[in-house]
Amino acid sequence: MYNFLLPKEFITSVYEITPEKLEKLGIKGIITDLDNTLIEWNRHEATEEIAKWVKEMERAGIKVIIASNNKEARVKRFAEPLGIPFIFKARKPLGAAYLAALKELQLNRNEVIMLGDQLLTDIMGANRLKLYTILVKPVAESDGMVTKFNRFVERRVFNALKRKGIKTWEEKE
């Protein structure tokens, strides 16, 4: 039950993702959500730390692409100054955007991780394509893009995982 929603890992922030960690996993690329994964949903540009994190990945030869369900203007404003490719109106959990991201990065499914803060979009869609999924604790509490229904389902999944003894970032703190 809920296996299709289950990420491979739970992390409290993207800074837990390091080139060393990815190298060990044989990972060469990162497909990442934007809102509440990299920055707060209502912040427009990358923080200094996020910009540094992206640079660190690139220096290590790891490619980064944004796949966001948000509008072009929003995603572009974030990604362009960083010089990274982006996909807007991605319609996650549908598969097309993940496949487009793989094509853009010129990587295979087993060479990327998918980072996101939502089970029903970021994680579910990537799991279906057998990508390595990592659920990031939302950067901010409220998210203009998240419906109450999504959070309701997530709460149920987390409770089910807790009963099974699977640790989420809720227990990591």
Cβ proximity to Mg ion, 6 vs 32, nearer residue: 32
- Nearer to Mg ion by Cβ, of 117 and 154: the residue is 117
- Tell me the closest approach of the beta carbon of residue 81 to Mg ion, in angstroms: 20
Q: Three-state secondary structure along 130-170? A: CCEEEEECCCCCCCCCCCHHHHHHHHHHHHHHHHHCCCCHH
Judged by CB under 5 A, the number of residues near Mg ion is 4
Interface with Mg ion includes 36 (CB under 5 A)? yes
| Contacts (CB under 5 A) with Mg ion, residues 100-119 | 117
For every residue of 80-106, DSSP letters joined together read: HHHT--EE-S--TTSSHHHHHHHHHHT
> How far, in Å, CA of 52 to CA of 55, rounded?
5
33 counts as binding Mg ion under rule CB under 5 A: yes
| 154: contact with Mg ion by CB under 5 A | no
**Using CB under 5 A as the criterion, which residues of the chain lie in contact with Mg ion when the complex forms?**
33, 35-36, 117
